[in-house]
Structure 1
Amino acid sequence: MIRFALNPTQDITVEDLRVALFNHILSKQLNEELLIRVDDADKKKTIENKDKEIIDILNLFSIDYSKVVYQSENIKYHTQMAMKLLLDKKAFNCFCSDEALEKDKQIAQKENQPYSYSGFCESISDETKFNCNAPFVVRVKKPKKNLSFTDILHNDLEYKPSDVDSCIILDHDKSPTLNYASAVDDMLYDISLIIKKQNQLIETSQQIRIRNLLGYEKEIKHIHLPLLDNIDHENLSVSKLIEQGYLPVAIANYLISLCYETPKKIFSLEEAIQWFDISKISQDRPIFDIQELNLINKEYLKNIDDMRLSKILKFADNDIGTLAKIYLDECSTTKELKEKIDTIFKKKERLDSFEKECLMIKECLKDAPFIDIFDDLQKYITSKTNLTDEKLDKPLKFILTGSLTGPDASQIYPLIKNYLGEIIQ
């Protein structure tokens, strides 16, 4: 079983989606089920319906999973195992105040040392604990020797006891911490492979420590992906990319190709399953380049079915899909294409220096018969208004397209002639 942990406290980011895509690919390659786990144990931080929103996005990217489980459903097991660790003297009650812990952190920072819990409460007697009414958390004991594990990308890794630390497993309200709950859930669901981001390596060592203390002997394989560079670290959300008009297939294509030498630039998720080898991912931080994503997205838009593109743009007409593709020389996303199409259909207010000519052409076209060919349209307008050259060309292009730049009106007209009455309003 492979799992992807979904965070319902925020939007899914491009880095999260990259992890989800690799989970999907490996589940297919290894012929193992993919489990989606919603990490909702902390109800105070969980955003209502955020899990459904993220699952909808995963579906949009064709990520295939067997079931969705909720971390909150396992809280009784988290609590039972924490009690076992306490009874076995592998965990302890910590009464240290937030102020005292913050003071220790500041001292470590001044000494330019990583913070590690002092162990003050570990040696408190049971009698003292019994008579203490102060709020407490539960911590596991710090390991006495280095903790090591193997990562498929990073090979053998080793962490000192101070790195692993006496991590908290139950908070003051006795709710499980995310890291502890994750360690237990991976046992409960018999997870065999975990893909994470590189900044979660310490968390992984702590989770292994927790499972070791619980006597869990199965070795779980780990892969920690290098973080993306050059992204908005408010974290660029996937939903924002989709709102901006990037196609899911293009986003997936780009994220898979980052720090991986793909056999071709444009490929499907199904194709990637055939040749992708996660062990060959570069350990260098890949640069997230929005211009490169633009190029890939544009390639998909060039090849998309005209009717499908039309429907994305809120029409149902092959001609509108064909029309949109004319603008791909200057546009890269469906949002930009939609703006171009909307400009054609919106009311044209005025064109400086050609107000009179615009009015004449509009009045002429209101009474015009259906004209199939653009040259014939120009001839008809000239015959009714005597407008020629610049006095005809500029205002006519403005009326038809809403702009004096971009493709020629002769390219646009054959694709909008059926909408002429609506366009000239």
Structure 2
Amino acid sequence: MLRFAPSPTGDMHIGNLRVAIFNYIVSKQLNEDLIIRIEDTDLERNIEGKDKEILEILGLFSIEYKSLFYQSANLKYHQKMALQLMTQKKAFACFCSDDKLDELREEAKKEGKPFRYDGFCENLSDETVLNTNAPFTVRIKKPEHNIKFTDLLKGDFDYAPFDIDSFIILRQDKTPTYNYACAVDDMLMDISVVIRGEDHVSNTPKQIHVRNSLGYEKEIKYVHLPIILNAQTGKKMSKRDDASSVKWLIEQGFLPSAIANYLVLMGNKTPTEIFTLEEAIEWFKIENVSKSSAKFDIDKLRFINRKHIELLDEMRLSKILGFADADIGKLGKIFLEEASTIKEIKEKIEPIFTPKNSCEGFEEEFSKLKECLQKAPFFEDYEELKKYVMEQTGLKGKNLFKPLRYILTGVDNGPNISDIYPLVKNYLGEIIK
């Protein structure tokens, strides 16, 4: 069993999506189920509706999953297992106030040391705990031995008890902290492989320690993917980078198939540059992903997006553009010389159907041409239309072609009218009204 476990605390970013895609591919390769677990226990940071947005994005990318879980639904198990750990003296009640902990952090900072809990409440007697009315958190005792694990991509890791510390597993309101809830849920859901970002590497020994303390012996395999960098700045992609948001990329007209293609291609060895997720399942190897940070280049994504638009069926492209006519799909592909996203293609097509009242510098010719076209019979061929208009108006040269192009396309330059006309001839009544 594999899992993709996003938090509903903001837009899904490309790093999250890459993790979801890799989990999906590997689950198919291993013939194991993929589940989605919405990690919603941090109530203060949750944003209403973000869970549904995440699921909609997964649907857009055709990422299939077996089941959907909300982490908050497991609260009774989180609390029950915390009580078990306390009963076994593997966890303890901590009455230290936030002010006290802040004081300890400040002292550690002044001494240039990492902050670690000082163990003040670890050995309180049961009687003292029972007679103390102050609010408390629950901390798991730090391990007695080093925690070791092997990352399938990054190799061996070895963490000392000091690195792991006696960390909080239940907050004062008795909701679980991230590492504790994650560890318990991975155990309950029988997860076999965890694929996630490398910013979680330091969380892994804590989660292993929780499961060890609960007596869970199954080994979970880990893959921690390198972070994604902005190719222009060389820095980690952040929320300030528009392109980091999957929602923004979709709104800009990048196809899900192209985005998925690029996220698999980034920092990876692939047999071909342009492919679908279904094709990637056949040859993808998680161990071939680069151990170094991948660079997100929006221009490279534009190139890949253009290729995926070229591969679209014309009727399918037409529907994406808001029509139901294969000719409009063909028209969209003509504009790929100048455009690379669906949004940009729409911006090229829109002026064709926008009412035109005049053409600067050719006002008289525009008026004469428009009147002629409104009375003209239907012509299958552009050359026949051009011949008819020339005969009826006496216009030629730029006095003909400048205003004629503007009437038919709404712009002064672009692809040849002879290429555009066959694809819009059935809409002339709407174009020249």
TM tier relative to shorter chain: over 0.9
Give deviations 1:79-132, integer Å, cap 9, x for gaps: 000011111111122222223323333443444433322323223343433333
The 5 A counterparts of 1:311-330 are 311-330=319-338
* CA deviation string 1:365-393 (max 9, x = no partner): 11111122222222322223222211111
Matched, 1:416 2:421: no
Q: Take 1:281 and 1:95, find their aligned partners in 2: how far apart are those partners? A: 45
Map of 2:407 onto structure 1: 399
Partner SS state of residue 3, structure 2: strand
- In 2, Cα distance between equivalents of 1:348 and 1:284: 54
Instruction: Show the 5 A alignment for 1:45-194.
Output: 45-194=45-194
Q: 1:354 aligns with which of 357, 362, 367?
A: 362
Measured after TM superposition, the shift of residue 302 of structure 1 is: 0.9
How many angstroms does 1:10 deviate by? 2.2
Find the residue that maps to 1:156 and give its secondary structure.
Answer: strand
Q: Name 2:282's counterpart in structure 1.
A: 274
Structure 1 counterpart of 2:301, one-letter code: L
Aligned match of 1:264: 272
Greater alpha carbon shift after TM alignment, 401-410 vs 116-125? 116-125
> In 2, Cα distance between the equivalents of 1:393 and 1:66?
59
Structure 2, unpaired ranges of 5+: 231-235
- TM-score, normalised on structure 1? 0.95
Write out per-residue CA displacement over residues 114-173 of structure 1, whole angstroms, 9 at most, x where no aligned residue.
332232322334343333332221111122332211111122101122321222111111
Deviation at 1:44, TM superposition (A): 4.3
Confirm or deny that 1:364 pairs with 2:372: yes
Distance (whole Å) between structure 1 residues aligned to residue 245 and residue 223 of structure 2: 23
CA change 1:135–1:356 in 2 (3 A) is: farther
Aligned residue number for residue 38 of structure 2: 38
1:350 and 1:229 map into 2 onto residues whose CA distance is: 48
For 1:367 and 1:77, how far apart are their aligned partners in 2?
A: 77
In the alignment, the residues of structure 2 paired with residue 207 and residue 222 of structure 1 have an alpha-carbon distance, to the nearest angstrom, of: 12
Q: Which amino acid aligns with 1:265?
A: E
Instruction: Give 2:328's aligned amino acid.
Output: I
Residue 3 of structure 1 aligns with an amino acid whose one-letter code is: R
One-letter identity of the residue aligned with 1:85: L
Where does 1:244-255 land on structure 2 (aligned, <5 Å)?
Answer: 244-255=252-263
Distance 2:403 2:9 in 1: 52
CA–CA separation in structure 1 for the residues paired with 2:273 and 2:405 = 37
Task: Give the number of aligned pairs.
Answer: 425
Give the Cα separation in 2 of the matches to 1:410 and 1:350: 22
**1:341 & 1:106 partners in 2: Cα distance?**
61
Alpha-carbon distance in structure 1 between the residues aligned to 2:135 and 2:76: 21
Within 5 Å, give how 1:325-336 maps onto structure 2.
Answer: 325-336=333-344
8 Å contact kept, 2:228–2:237: no
Between 1:34-43 and 1:71-80, the stretch displaced more is 34-43
Task: Using the aligned pairs only, state the percent identity.
Answer: 55
CA distance in 2, matches of 1:162, 1:394: 77
Deviates more, 1:81-90 or 1:141-150: 141-150
Tell me which residue corresponds to 2:16. 16
CA distance in 2, matches of 1:363, 1:54: 52
| Corresponding residue to 2:247 among 205, 218, 239 | 239
Q: CA deviation at 1:43?
A: 4.1
Name the aligned partner's letter for residue 45 of structure 1.
R
Which stretches of structure 1, 4 residues or longer, exceed 4 Å deviation after superposition? none
Whichever residue aligns with residue 345 of structure 2, its letter is L
The answer as to whether partners of 2:358 and 2:367 remain within 8 angstroms in 1 is no
Cα deviation digits, residues 345-383 of structure 1 (max 9, x gap)? 112354322222222221221111112222222232222
Take 1:414 and 1:303, find their aligned partners in 2: how far apart are those partners?
Answer: 21
- CA shift for structure 1 position 28: 1.4
Q: Deviations over 1:293-336 (max 9, x none)?
A: 11111111112111110010010111101111011011111111
**Please, what is the CA RMSD of the aligned residues?**
1.8
Comparing 219-228 and 231-240, the one that deviates more: 231-240
